[in-house]
Amino acid sequence: MTRDYGFGTRSIHAGETPDPSTGAHGVPLYQNATYGFDSFEDIEAWNNGAHHFCYARTSNPTVRSLEMKLANLEGAEAAIATASGMAAISATLLHLLAGGGHLVASADLYEETRDFVLQDLPRFGATIDLVDCTSLAAVEAAITPHTRAIYTEAFSNPMLQVVDLEALGEVARRHRIPLVVDNTFLSPALLRPLERGATIVIHSATKYLSGHGNVVGGVICGDRDTIGAIAGLLSRLGGPMSPFNAWLLLAGIKTLPLRMDRHSANALALANLIEGHPAVESVAYPGLPAHPRHAIARRLVGDRFGGMLLISLGVSPSAVGCFLNALSLPTLAVSLGDTATLIWPVAGSSLIRVSVGIEDCADLITDFTTALAAIPLPIAR
C-alpha cells in the first residue's frame, strides 16, 4: 500500500486484501504447515523462482500479511516476523557478527538483550563494548576497524534514556556500520528509526504492537538483502512467528495509533502528578521538561512520548511495598504495552517501572494519588 496514506489508514489497510479464494474480509488465519502444488511443472516453476508458499517455517500467508504491514509502517523495504523479540534480536546480531566481529552496544539495554550480548555472543567469537550511547564521543571511541554494528534502544528499558538517533546514525554512516535500533518502547506510531538514520529496526511485538498482552512475538525491519539473509538464518534457527500470533497482531496493530495517543496522554498526566510529590525522589519520563534529554526526545517523537515511566522512590524497599500494595488498578506484572496498566519494581533498587495503560485517565490519577499518600515520608531532621 502506498505510503501517501496516513499512518492510521496504513495501520488498518497495509498488507491486507480480501482473501483471493473466498473474498473473506480481514486476513484469514492460515493455520497450516505445508502447501500443495498443482503439478510437477508448478514445483519446477517454484524451483526456478516463481512465487509459491511451500512450508510454514519459511513462509505463511497470515505471517506474510503482518510482515508487509510492519514493513509499510516502519518505512522499510522488508520485514520478517519472529517467535519473540529475543528471536529477532539474537538472529539479527548472529547475522551481523557471523564469524566473530566487534559490537558497540548501549550499556543501557533490556536485561535479556544485555545478557545475550554479554554471555552468548562472545561464545560465537564476537567482542563487545558497552558504551553510553547518549555520548557520541564514547561511541566514536569504541568503534574499531572490526566493528560490525552499533546496537541501541531508542528510549531505553527501563531507564528511559533517550538516544539521539540522528546524531548516532550520522556516526554509523560515516563509519559504514549498520545502526540497529530496538524501537519496542515507542512503536512506529511514535518513531520510525529508519527515517532517522537507523539501518535495522527491531521490536518485541509482545508489547505495543500486540497491545493486548496475548502474544509473544518479534519483528525485524530493514533493507531487502539484509532481511532476506536474516530470514534464511531465522528459518535454520527455527524461530519464525506462528500464524496464530501473526493473526492476533494484525488485529492489534489496527488500533496502534489510537492506543499510543492514549498511552502517551495518560503517562504524561501521571508523570506530572508524580513529579514533585514529597514521597518521590524523581520520575523519568522523556515528556517532562525536567528530563535531561527532553529536547532530543521532542525532536524525535513530537508531543507524544509513549506510555513508559520510571519512578524512583529513593527510600527503603518497604516504601516501594507500601506504594505497590496501595494501588488497586494496575497489575503487578512484568511486560509492557498492554491496554491495562502494568507495574513492576526493578530488582535491587527503589525504582518502579510503570507501563501506563489506556484506562480512563481520571481513574489512574485517583488510584496513584491514593497510593502516593500511602508512602511513609522520610522523617524530617
Ligand X SMILES: *Cc1c(COP(=O)(O)O)cnc(C)c1O
**Interface residues with ligand X (CB under 6 A)?**
84-86, 110, 112-113, 153, 157, 182, 184, 204, 206-207, 216, 218
- 336 versus 375: smaller Cβ distance to ligand X: 336
- 209 versus 375: smaller Cβ distance to ligand X: 209
Helices 61-74 and 243-253, interaxial angle, to 10°? 40
* Cβ contact 166:159 at 8 Å: no
The one-letter code for the residue type at 251 is: A
Give the list of residues 6+ apart from residue 23 with CB closer than 8 angstroms, or none: none
The SS3 of residue 61 is helix
Q: Quick one: DSSP state of residue 304?
A: -
- 84 versus 161: smaller Cβ distance to ligand X: 84
Report in angstroms how near the CB of residue 152 gets to ligand X at its nearest: 11
Report in angstroms how near the CB of residue 209 gets to ligand X at its nearest: 10
Host H or E run for residue 363: helix 361-373
Host H or E run for residue 331: strand 331-332
Phi, psi for 301 (deg, rounded to 5): -120, 5
- 151 versus 247: smaller Cβ distance to ligand X: 151
Report in angstroms how near the CB of residue 327 gets to ligand X at its nearest: 21
Q: Quick one: DSSP state of residue 182?
A: E
Point out the residue whose Cβ comes nearest to ligand X. 85
- 84 versus 264: smaller Cβ distance to ligand X: 84
Report in angstroms how near the CB of residue 153 gets to ligand X at its nearest: 5
Report in angstroms how near the CB of residue 159 gets to ligand X at its nearest: 11
- 210 versus 264: smaller Cβ distance to ligand X: 210
* Cβ contact 263:357 at 8 Å: yes
Report in angstroms how near the CB of residue 375 gets to ligand X at its nearest: 27
Q: Any idea of the CA torsion for 186, 192, 196, 197, to the nearest 10 degrees?
A: 100
